[in-house]
Amino acid sequence: MNSANIYDVGDILQFKKNHPCGSNEWKVLKTGIDYKLECMGCKRIILLPRVDLKKKVKKKVEKE
């Protein structure tokens, strides 16, 4: 794990708020300055800056 990246590829993260589809779990697809995340409910993919991700994550659920 890189010191700059809190989460690794394959980690499942639980957000504080639900996505419009109803799910609040996201899978990390890519790390770096931006994180690429996939919604576990509807499979939508988003890019989120690292600083925003820290604020949105409630906890790390598991590693797939």
Each residue's pLDDT tens digit, 3-17: 567 899 999 999 999
| Contact yes or no for 26/36 (Cβ under 8 A) | no
Structural domain count of the chain: 1
Structural domain range at position 35:
11-63
Q: Does residue 47 form part of some domain?
A: yes
> 2 in a domain, yes or no?
no
Residue 21, in any domain of the structure: yes
Whether 57 is covered by a domain: the verdict is: yes
For 2-45, give the DSSP string: -SS-SS-TTEEEEESS--TTS--EEEEEE-SSEEEEEETTT--E
pLDDT of residue 47: 97
With respect to residue 24, please indicate whether it lies within any of the assigned structural domains. Answer: yes
Answer with the residue of higher pLDDT: 2 or 45.
45
State the Cα–Cα distance between residues 30 and 57, nearest whole angstrom: 16
pTM of the model: 0.85
- Domain assignment present for 4: no
